[in-house]
């Protein structure tokens, strides 16, 4: 028998259910979304606005080409430019805004190098609106960091932590001045670690989805403990504004650069002197490896630490100073952070055997010179779907090689099975040098059909390794 339930009882039951629902969701929200107020209140006083003023050049008048101007107008133009050519027109100034944070109570401040680059005057605004003139202590363009100094005492400071313990998915927050809105707070999660960016080999960036916009550059990235774990530096954007992908320089790089700039005014980085590339699946097979890992040496620079330690082209670097090199991008980070004049043990794979070498790390030079090349066609040879020709002496000199062959044509079958391209210069097959077309023919014909061979090629002067399948002609 079904008992009658009054409307009052139904309403009471629904009310209790709603209360429980909202209570449950409140607990869930509290656990999923932390309260950032303590971190913000603690650290806002140590975050500053950086104003960099750059001179844009003089507004000096330039006499135009008057060959096509009617004669009746020329006297007026002559008079105008005569009167103005000796005027001292003030130079226009362009302000640049960014963020920074205080690292010491006596006024050392870190920001991005691109915020203050080429600045004639730098001004700092504190959280209480106090304005101070800043001097540039030093810069490190390779990490995009710059150290400033203001004359002050008892300033509030941030606490610098470590990024090594950061986990993907962990909450982080940024404080900065996007678009000039001072001390703006945004939050998000860590999206990735040790990201490599184009032309940025010496920084393993922290990727986040924290909203970062122009003006945030140079500001701190905090964990929930209130420690600085990174310096907000770049965004990926197609619009000029935030699109959900931001990058921060890790705290370890910050500390290293800060110490060196403060003590020496410049940053020294370790240097091995090699060009490297990723080991893909095909290359791994050609090297006799069970899986892709490490960094293969495509070129060794003359008089470099690697050359002095008897490293060779085709060596695969598997371990550096006791640390595994899982991907090629790992190596520049490890070498760059090595103390100059340190002797480091490196584990290599050479001709399918593991060997160890000790190398004395030197200081990274300012510039690496890469020569161009000129082509010279001599003799042709058709082998394994590739038409090659001998290279001339100019090419050898430009590339600093003893011999090689240039790829002139690639068959459809070979094109589909490898990454070889026309104009590639082949210098080695399976780590054996190739001197000319005759030598190339001989070495290829000694290889088993349908096997993978590794080729060292120069492409637009850059050495790379390719895995190529030996085909029937």
Whichever domain contains 320, its CATH number is 2.30.42.10
User: Does residue 309 have a pLDDT over 50?
Assistant: yes
User: Does residue 293 have a pLDDT over 60?
Assistant: yes
Asked if 142 and 262 sit in the same domain, the reply is yes
Residue 23 lies in a domain: no
Q: What is the pLDDT of residue 347?
A: 97
Q: Residue 46: how many CA atoms within 13 Å on its side-chain side?
A: 27
Query: Which CB contacts under 8 angstroms, 24+ apart, belong to 352-361?
Result: 352/287, 352/288, 354/318, 357/309, 357/310, 357/311, 358/309, 359/272, 359/305, 359/306, 359/308, 359/309, 359/311, 360/305, 360/308, 360/309, 361/270, 361/271, 361/272, 361/305, 361/335
Span 323-327, mean pLDDT? 92
Asked if 119 and 258 sit in the same domain, the reply is yes
pLDDT interval class at 145 (50, 70, 90): very high
Asked if 258 and 310 sit in the same domain, the reply is no
The percentage of the chain sitting over the pLDDT mark of 70, rounded to a whole number, equals 76
Cβ proximity of 134 and 121 under 8 Å? no
Domain boundary, last residue among 298, 333, 363: 363
Residue 407 lies in a domain: yes
Q: Which domain holds residue 356?
A: 270-363
Distance, in Å, from the CA atom of 335 to the CA atom of 191, rounded to the nearest integer, reads: 25
258 CB contacts (<8 Å, ≥6 apart)? 103, 108, 110, 145, 147
Asked if 274 and 250 sit in the same domain, the reply is no
Domain boundary, last residue among 303, 333, 363: 363
- If you average pLDDT over every residue of the chain, what do you get? 80
Asked if 42 and 122 sit in the same domain, the reply is yes
Active-site option among 140, 144, 227, 330? 144
Active-site option among 99, 114, 227, 439? 114
CATH number of the domain at 217, please: 2.40.10.120
Asked if 103 and 124 sit in the same domain, the reply is yes
Q: What is the pLDDT of residue 57?
A: 53
412 CB contacts (<8 Å, ≥6 apart)? none
Active-site option among 143, 177, 191, 217? 217
Q: Where are the beta strands (DSSP E) in 274-321?
A: 274-278, 295-300, 316-320
Residue 9 lies in a domain: no
Asked if 244 and 313 sit in the same domain, the reply is no
Residue 228 lies in a domain: yes
143-157, 162-176, 205-219, 446-460: range with lowest mean pLDDT = 446-460
Residue 224 lies in a domain: yes
Residue 370, φ and ψ in degrees, nearest 5: -120, 115
Residue 6 lies in a domain: no
Q: Which residue has the higher pLDDT, 414 or 323?
A: 323
Asked if 263 and 125 sit in the same domain, the reply is yes
14 CB contacts (<8 Å, ≥6 apart)? none
87-91, 281-285, 448-452: range with lowest mean pLDDT = 87-91
pLDDT interval class at 304 (50, 70, 90): very high
Residue 106 lies in a domain: yes
**Residue 389 annotated in active site:** no
**Residue 428 annotated in active site:** no
Query: Which CB contacts under 8 angstroms, 24+ apart, belong to 104-107?
Result: 104/155, 104/157, 105/153, 105/154, 105/155, 105/156, 105/157, 106/152, 106/153, 106/155, 107/132, 107/149, 107/150, 107/151, 107/152, 107/153, 107/155
DSSP bridge partners of 292: none
Asked if 108 and 200 sit in the same domain, the reply is yes
- CA-derived radius of gyration, the chain: 31
Its sign, for the CA torsion 428, 432, 434, 438, is negative
Distance, in Å, from the CA atom of 148 to the CA atom of 281, rounded to the nearest integer, reads: 47
Residue 69 lies in a domain: no
> 461 in the Ramachandran plot: left (φ > 0), alpha (ψ -120 to 50) or beta?
left
Q: pLDDT (tens digit, 9 = 90+) per residue, 79-128?
A: 333 444 454 444 444 558 899 999 999 999 999 999 999 899 999 999 99
Distance, in Å, from the CA atom of 194 to the CA atom of 167, rounded to the nearest integer, reads: 12
165-179, 305-319, 387-401: range with lowest mean pLDDT = 387-401
Span 437-460, mean pLDDT? 78
Span 41-45, mean pLDDT? 96
Domain boundary, last residue among 317, 333, 363: 363
Q: pLDDT (tens digit, 9 = 90+) per residue, 410-428?
A: 776 655 555 788 888 988 8
Nearest to 422 by CA among 461, 459, 463, 390: 459
Asked if 245 and 103 sit in the same domain, the reply is yes
Span 51-69, mean pLDDT? 55
Q: What is the pLDDT of residue 460?
A: 79
pLDDT interval class at 441 (50, 70, 90): confident
Q: Which two tokens stand for residue 224?
A: 């929930």
Percent of the chain that is helix, strand, coil (3-state, to 5): 25, 35, 40
Q: What is the pLDDT of residue 454?
A: 79
pLDDT interval class at 445 (50, 70, 90): confident
**Residue 127 annotated in active site:** no
Asked if 294 and 342 sit in the same domain, the reply is yes
Asked if 294 and 199 sit in the same domain, the reply is no
- Based on the structure, what is the number of domains in the chain? 3
């Amino acid at each position: 028998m079904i008992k009658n339930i009054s409307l009052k009882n139904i309403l009471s039951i629904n009310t209790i259910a709603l209360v429980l629902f909202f209570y449950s969701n409140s607990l869930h929200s509290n656990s999923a979304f932390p309260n950032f107020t303590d971190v913000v209140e603690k650290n806002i006083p140590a975050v500053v606005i950086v104003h960099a003023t750059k001179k844009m050049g003089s507004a000096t008048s330039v006499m135009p080409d008057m060959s096509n101007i009617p004669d009746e107008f020329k006297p007026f133009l002559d008079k105008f430019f005569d009167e103005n050519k000796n005027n001292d027109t003030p130079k226009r100034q362009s302000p640049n805004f960014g963020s920074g944070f205080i690292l010491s109570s006596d006024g050392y401040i870190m920001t991005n190098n691109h915020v203050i680059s080429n600045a004639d005057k730098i001004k700092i605004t504190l959280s209480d609106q106090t304005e101070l003139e800043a001097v540039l202590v030093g810069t490190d363009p390779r990490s995009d960091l710059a150290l400033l100094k203001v004359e002050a005492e008892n300033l509030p400071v941030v606490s610098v932590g470590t990024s090594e313990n950061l986990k993907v998915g962990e909450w982080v927050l940024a404080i900065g001045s996007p678009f000039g809105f001072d001390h703006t707070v945004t939050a998000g999660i860590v999206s990735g670690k040790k990201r490599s960016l184009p032309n940025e080999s010496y920084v393993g960036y922290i990727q986040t989805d924290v909203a970062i916009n122009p003006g945030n550059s140079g500001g701190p990235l905090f964990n929930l403990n209130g420690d600085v774990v990174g310096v907000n530096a770049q965004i990926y954007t197609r619009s000029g504004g935030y699109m959900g992908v931001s990058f921060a320089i890790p705290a370890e790089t910050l500390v290293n650069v800060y110490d060196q700039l403060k003590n020496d005014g410049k940053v020294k980085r370790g240097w091995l002197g090699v060009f490297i590339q990723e080991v893909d699946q095909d290359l791994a097979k050609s090297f006799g490896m069970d899986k892709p890992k490490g960094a293969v040496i495509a070129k060794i620079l003359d008089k470099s630490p690697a050359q002095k330690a008897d490293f060779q082209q085709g060596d695969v670097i598997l371990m550096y100073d006791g640390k595994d090199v899982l991907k090629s991008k790992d190596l520049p980070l490890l070498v760059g952070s090595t103390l100059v004049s340190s002797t480091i043990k490196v584990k290599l794979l050479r001709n399918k055997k593991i060997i160890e070498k000790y190398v004395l790390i030197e200081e990274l030079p300012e510039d690496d010179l890469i020569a161009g090349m000129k082509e010279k066609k001599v003799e042709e040879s058709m082998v394994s779907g590739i038409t090659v020709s001998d290279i001339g002496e100019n090419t050898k000199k430009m590339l600093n090689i003893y011999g090689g062959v240039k790829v002139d044509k690639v068959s459809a079958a070979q094109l589909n099975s490898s990454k070889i391209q026309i104009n590639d210069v082949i210098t080695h097959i399976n780590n054996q040098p190739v001197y000319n077309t005759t030598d190339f023919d001989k070495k290829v014909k000694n290889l088993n059909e349908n096997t993978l061979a590794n080729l060292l090629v120069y492409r637009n002067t850059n050495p790379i390794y390719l895995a190529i399948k030996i085909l029937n002609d």
